[in-house]
């Protein structure tokens, strides 16, 4: 397969961890005979410095034409003056919206070797394997805002179509996993949540009768996520609830440096979509892949950042945008094996020797030769 991947390193540790992910993707490409083209563009603070804008038109244009986008992180103290006209984070919101990336997938499966790094008791974490699907382009974050000296409002709006598409995506994922879907809302209070619940119930009954659906109120979900995380498979929820619950869920895994994410839009229909050399089928979807962590300015430039979240984001890219399931599995197995072997960067190494970003990346690449 030939595929064009746009790489947006961004700021802080972004360039260090995306370089690691690209190296691993190149190694997988060599192993399986794929030609991946990598094209670097500017986003965030780096883009502001070079062009004055957090998302230059050339970056968006390249992303639209690509088969997938791999992003590092944006932001940092240099650009965080509250009076600044433009901020790096605007680039991230703008590209998600412009590409229509309405479904944000965050898998959380604590690795046995890293359980000690989580604040949650280890016996609650064994066997946890869940996936949060957060609606990413609607709801209160995008609703009309008003402000006077003494009042403020943020409008939360959803239409049926916005709910249906993200629920369908979550159901499809549940089908490929353990077949269970937990929909999170606040239907006892909010009208948008009542529409969310009705729509979810209807989509599952009509189109996914094989999926086991349960509804949970967001407040009790916040509690259950920590007290019985093993019970969840796929969790689907609206934008703000998902924002909060995914940060909470990240604590199950122990380090921010272990968690990848995928932000997906519609199935690719553009002319440049990657084609499988054997059957000519199109790539599965347009997507943007990034670690869930930020630019970590406190450790940037020192070569000690954990690259696993970015490398695992590369695995999600292969799976969801290019349909390369075996290749994605291969990366995931390699990362799992190096964690088993105790190849820990400083964020994971409670005591003992911590490896550098480069050593961790090389260990994964070496392991690939054994796993695939």
Question: What does the binding site for Mg ion look like in residue numbers (CB under 5 A)?
Answer: 243
Q: Residue number with the shortest CB distance to Mg ion? A: 243
- Pick between residue 29 and residue 88 the one whose CB is nearest to ligand NAI: 88
In the set 92, 105, 128, 360, which binds ligand NAI (CB under 6 A)? 92
| Helix/strand/coil percentages in the chain, nearest 5 | 45, 20, 35
* 75 is a site residue for ligand NAI (CB under 6 A): yes
- Of the candidates 11, 67, 102, 186, the residue annotated as catalytic is 186
Q: Give catalytic status of residue 186 as yes or no.
A: yes
Query: Residues 120 to 149: which contact ligand NAI by CB under 6 A?
Result: none
The site that binds ligand NAI (CB under 6 A) totals a number of residues, namely 24
* 256 is a site residue for ligand NAI (CB under 6 A): yes
Q: Which of 40, 39, 51, 67 is nearest to 322 (CA)?
A: 67
Minimal distance in Å, beta carbon 158 to ligand NAI? 24
- Which of ligand NAI, Mg ion, none does residue 295 bind (CB under 5 to 8 Å by kind)? ligand NAI
CA distances from 314 to 27, 65, 89, 156, 308 (A): 12, 18, 22, 33, 10
- Of the candidates 210, 219, 326, 340, the residue annotated as catalytic is 219
- Pick between residue 295 and residue 367 the one whose CB is nearest to ligand NAI: 295
- Pick between residue 129 and residue 243 the one whose CB is nearest to Mg ion: 243
* 294 is a site residue for ligand NAI (CB under 6 A): yes
- Pick between residue 43 and residue 130 the one whose CB is nearest to ligand NAI: 43
Q: Give catalytic status of residue 141 as yes or no.
A: yes
Q: Report whether 64 contacts 99 (CB < 8 A).
A: yes
* 91 is a site residue for ligand NAI (CB under 6 A): no
Q: Report whether 80 contacts 110 (CB < 8 A).
A: no
* 89 is a site residue for ligand NAI (CB under 6 A): yes
Quote the DSSP letter at residue 297: T
Binding span for ligand NAI by CB under 6 A among 119-127, 211-219, 302-310, 332-340 = 302-310
Strand ranges (E), the chain: 2-10, 35-40, 68-73, 103-108, 130-135, 145-147, 152-154, 180-185, 212-217, 234-237, 260-264, 287-291
In the set 296, 311, 312, 343, which binds ligand NAI (CB under 6 A)? 296
* 259 is a site residue for ligand NAI (CB under 6 A): no
- Which of ligand NAI, Mg ion, none does residue 48 bind (CB under 5 to 8 Å by kind)? none
Q: Give catalytic status of residue 243 as yes or no.
A: yes
Any bridge partners for residue 216, and if so which? Answer: 184
- Taking every pair of Cα atoms in the chain, the longest distance, rounded to a whole number of angstroms, is 63
Report DSSP letters for 159-228, one per residue: -HHHHHHHHHHHHHHHHTTTSEEEEEE-TTT-HHHHHHHHHHHHHHHHH-TTSEEEEEEHHHHHHHHHH-
- Which of Mg ion, ligand NAI, none does residue 221 bind (CB under 5 to 8 Å by kind)? none
Q: In whole angstroms, what is the distance from residue 295 CA to residue 328 CA?
A: 25
* 335 is a site residue for ligand NAI (CB under 6 A): no
By DSSP bridging, strand 130-135 and strand 234-237 are parallel
Q: In whole angstroms, what is the distance from residue 6 CA to residue 134 CA?
A: 23
Q: Which of 131, 66, 136 is nearest to 101 (CA)?
A: 136
- Which of Mg ion, ligand NAI, none does residue 311 bind (CB under 5 to 8 Å by kind)? none
Minimal distance in Å, beta carbon 201 to ligand NAI? 33
Q: In whole angstroms, what is the distance from residue 194 CA to residue 207 CA?
A: 20
- Pick between residue 134 and residue 197 the one whose CB is nearest to Mg ion: 134
Residues annotated as catalytic (active site), given as ranges: 141, 186, 219, 243, 247
Positions in the binding site for ligand NAI (CB under 6 A): 13, 17, 73-76, 80, 89, 92, 256-257, 290, 293-299, 305-306, 309, 345, 347
């Amino acid at each position: 397969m030939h595929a064009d991947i746009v790489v947006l390193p961004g700021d802080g540790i972004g360039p260090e961890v995306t370089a690691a992910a690209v190296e691993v993707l190149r190694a997988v490409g060599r192993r399986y005979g794929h030609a991946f083209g990598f094209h670097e563009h500017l986003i965030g603070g780096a883009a502001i410095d070079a062009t004055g804008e957090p998302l230059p038109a050339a970056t968006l244009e390249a992303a639209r034409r690509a088969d997938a986008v791999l992003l590092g992180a944006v932001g940092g103290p240099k650009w965080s003056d509250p009076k600044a006209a433009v901020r790096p984070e605007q680039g991230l919101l703008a590209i998600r919206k412009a590409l229509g990336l309405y479904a944000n997938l965050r898998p959380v499966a604590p690795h046995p070797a890293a359980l000690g790094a989580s604040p949650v008791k280890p016996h609650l974490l064994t066997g946890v394997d869940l996936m949060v699907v957060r609606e990413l382009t609607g709801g209160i974050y995008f609703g009309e805002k008003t402000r006077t000296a003494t009042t403020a409002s943020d409008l939360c709006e959803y239409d049926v179509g916005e709910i249906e598409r993200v629920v369908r995506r979550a159901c499809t994922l549940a089908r490929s996993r353990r077949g269970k879907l937990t929909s999170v809302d606040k239907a006892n209070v909010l009208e948008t949540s009542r529409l969310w619940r009705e729509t979810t119930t209807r989509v599952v009954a009509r189109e996914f009768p094989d999926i086991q659906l349960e509804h949970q109120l967001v407040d009790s979900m916040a509690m259950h996520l920590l007290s019985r995380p093993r019970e969840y498979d796929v969790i689907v929820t609206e934008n703000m609830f998902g924002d909060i619950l995914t940060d909470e869920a990240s604590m199950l895994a122990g380090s921010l440096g272990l968690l990848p994410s995928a932000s997906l839009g519609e199935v690719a229909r553009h002319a440049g979509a990657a084609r499988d050399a054997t059957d000519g089928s199109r790539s599965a979807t347009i997507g943007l892949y990034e670690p869930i962590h930020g630019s970590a300015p406190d450790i940037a430039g020192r070569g000690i950042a954990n690259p696993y979240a970015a490398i695992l984001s590369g695995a999600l890219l292969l799976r969801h945008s290019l349909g390369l399931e075996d290749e994605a599995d291969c990366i995931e197995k390699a990362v799992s094996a190096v964690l088993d072997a105790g190849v820990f960067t400083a964020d994971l190494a409670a005591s003992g020797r911590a490896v550098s970003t480069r050593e961790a990346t090389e260990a994964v690449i070496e392991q690939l030769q054994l796993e695939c």
